[in-house]
Chains A and B, each alone.
Chain A
Amino acid sequence: MWLEILSEILKLTVFAGLALAGALAILIWKRDLKTKVSYLRFFVQAAAMAALFLLFSYTNELLYVLIVIILLTLFLGRLFCGWLCPLGLYLDLMAVFRKALKIRYWNLPDKLNKLLNKLRYLLLAFFVALPFVLEKIEPWQWSLAKFLMGPFKPVSVLLGPVEPLIIPWESRLKFYGLNLSYPYASVIAFYSGESFALANMFLFIALTLASSFVVRRFWCRFCPTGVSFAVLNRFRGFRWIPLLRLNKVEEKCPKCGICKRVCPVQVLDVYERKGGDIAPSMCMLCLRCVEMCPYEECLKLNMAGRTLFKSRNWLEPSKIE
């Protein structure tokens, strides 16, 4: 009984938190801090996590959640990765810690980064194809197949990064009666068997966090979920669909190189390509490059022809003040 009340209270708090975050986000936008997008993004990420928690409390059908995200991605590109993904938030928080400790990140060599980018497609294909293959060979008679089949259903794999910190169902990680989770935690627990579940979960958590402490958004460089979104928008037949586009005006860009250096996933295209619709499938629309580009209206985020956000002379305070 008291647990239910607690959970209701929790949901209400989350609602209130969401509203608060929204208000704060608007305030920040108005105050126009130099790095406003970066701050705003943290709020949206936190709010998204709360929203996901609410979503999961009212539905158990993960498939619907996936469909919503896919639709969102179809039209908005990988905005999900930059602004909504809970795992993305944890990885970004690691970068904040790192900055606080004044330690510099490592860049992956561009070649390796590109390789990982390609590897994403392979990983995705593997996870999507697996169940169909295994169905044919009577999985429950073959232990290897069983273990592959069990946890790695495409839905649970693709929704891995989406698991919020607190989940409304039973989990292995408990804290004062709250069910905690971490991206892929349930998948890992399932696959590890009783005795190793916890150890493996912590190992995974430690690995993902530590790696992105060193390399910005390391997981995202090969995350199968991220690439599934990318696939949607980047296949030729689908290219007209996305409403959100990152645009560059060739003449306004003297190639100062800032966009290349500040991109958390080391996207080169924004710097290298001449102009027009420039974001590659690796770009998660975090807008860090747009925010840091010092040339007015050189980079723009366009939505169906309208400019939502554009680069500007960030040395000047905004005109709103």
Chain B
Amino acid sequence: MEKGFGEKKYMVELSEREVEDLRNSVKATSLKLMDEYIERMKKTWPNRPKIMEYFDEVAKFFGTREKEILKAKEEGRKVIGYTCMFAPIELILAADAIPVRVSSGIYDTTKLGNRIVPVEVCPVVRSTIGVGMIGFSPHLEVSDALITPLTCDGMAKLSEILSDRKPVWTVCPPRLKDSEQSMRFWREELQSVKAKIEKLTGTKITAKKLKTAIETMHRATRAFRRLQELRRGAPVIMGRDAMLVNQTSAWDDIERWTKKTEELCSELEKRRQEKILACAPDTPRIMIAGSPALWPDNWKLPNLIEEANPQGVIVADEFCSGDRFLFDPVGVDEWTMDDMFNAVAERYLLPSTCPCFTSEDGNVDRVNWLKARIEERRVDGVVYHVFRGCMLYAMEYTRIKKALDKINVPVYYLDTDYTREDVGQIKTRVEAFLEMLKSRVEF
């Protein structure tokens, strides 16, 4: 067994009854909430394509997808969870394991997390801890091991805390990505994860298998990019729906997801030609940047923007759970094992614009990334979303704001927590911002 795994270093003792009760109550709210959010998405987008129902189905936790994963597990396949997008999905797929993202977007479990860590900690971390405590998340529960990238402080400690329940394999992305020694270090990190994946699954990752996995992910990236392309012109898809499709890729069967996304894109392209729009063409075009908003509970902000009056449409997000997740392909030069592995390693480190990076020039890649997306998607305004406790995104705000001021794009700073209580208050503020954008657009 893994070192440290199973020992209760952090977890508080809960009686089985208590766990059972908590599970049931959280589950009831979550299921209700997911249904409600999907209904609301359907309402905002009246001519929502039928194919979206597939993604609704996958998005429902404790539904068909969970059963499917459990069945695959019975047949001997392993499930490898990850907390953040630095985990090399290609390596997981090459070992014939199932990758799932485990970081949680469920509000109710943050309260449980508060018993272990203080409330000042990022709510994603607290919620994931809470989910771990009562074995609630379908994805965390089914995982045989977790890949936990040590990015921000929250993620680093989350990894420790989760090791009470699951074997965790840490990988440490270097803070400075742009040097030869960083790259060497990162490659070593991934080599050791690769060895662990091979040991767990009992499958050797051969060149052939890795190539197949890379090609599978190429197809997924292709579909993923196609969808983001469609968010460029007049809106043919609502932002929330695009975000839902993006997020489901983190736990769906990736090949089926690719197929369905391509179908959705074909449908949308047809609509583009027939000029069937999802909302009025002069709807203010919003980008959400900052801390990742995770399905299901964290649909709060997207909901607010797209249901507000005046309405906004999210044409881009900067989330590692969203637009950034599958955007970069692994660029293989020569299909040898070494080059493929290097290409995979580079793909996860170098193009990432996560705020955990810095350089002598600061996180300049992130600024450039934002500016490029703003230009190509013709963004009217940026909502800068920060969780209370998320230091990195909060601290980078000033720089982003300055950069965006220069190109005359309004930014609105919105800090929030995993709670439903501030909805009313945020609503007024978001609507004021949209009102302002609307008048600018008309002007």
What residues of chain A have their CB less than 8 Å away from a CB belonging to chain B? Answer: 99, 102-105, 110, 250-258, 261-262, 292, 294, 313-316
Contacts and interface: CB of A to CB of B under 8 A. Distances in A.
A104 B346 contact: no
A188 B157 CA distance: 67
A256 B347 contact: yes
B336 A102 contact: yes
Nearest to A316: B222
Nearest to A250: B368
A316 to B, nearest CB: 6
A103 B207 CA distance: 12
A256 B331 contact: yes
Interface string B362-374: 0001001101100
Interface string B389-426: 00000000000000000000000000000000000000
Interface string B347-375: 10011010000000000010011011001
Contact of B369 (A99, A254, A257): A254
B130 interface: no
A313 B328 CA distance: 10
A315 B221 contact: yes
A261 B343 contact: yes
Interface in B93-147: none
A313 B346 contact: no
B259 to A, nearest CB: 15
B339 interface: yes
Interface in B158-209: 178, 180, 207
A47 B351 CA distance: 38
A315 B229 CA distance: 13
B222 A315 contact: yes
Given A99-B335, A251-B368, A254-B353, 13 more contacts: A99-B334, A102-B207, A102-B335, A104-B339, A251-B375, A254-B365, A256-B347, A258-B331, A258-B346, A294-B329, A313-B225, A314-B329, A316-B222
Nearest to A253: B368
B127 to A, nearest CB: 29
A261 B345 CA distance: 12
A224 B335 CA distance: 32
Which of A253, A294, A314 has most B Cβ within 10 Å?
A294
Contacts of A258: 331, 343, 346
A105 B333 CA distance: 11
Given A99-B334, A104-B339, A292-B333, A251 B346 contact: no
A316 B368 contact: no
A254 B331 contact: no
Contacts of B351: 254-257
B178 A262 contact: no
B178 A255 contact: yes
A251 to B, nearest CB: 5
B331 A292 contact: yes
Contacts of B329: 294, 314-315
A251 B403 CA distance: 12
B346 A261 contact: yes
7 contacts: A99-B334, A104-B334, A104-B337, A252-B372, A261-B342, A261-B343, A315-B221
B342 A255 contact: no
B338 interface: yes
Interface string B312-345: 0000000000000000110101111111001100
Nearest to A314: B329
Nearest to A103: B336
Contact of B338 (A104, A294, A313): A104
Contacts of A103: 336
Contacts of A104: 334, 336-339
Contacts of A261: 331, 333, 339, 342-343, 346
Nearest to B207: A102
A316 B218 CA distance: 10
A250 B336 CA distance: 31
A257 B346 contact: yes
B226 to A, nearest CB: 7
Contacts of B343: 258, 261
B33 to A, nearest CB: 35
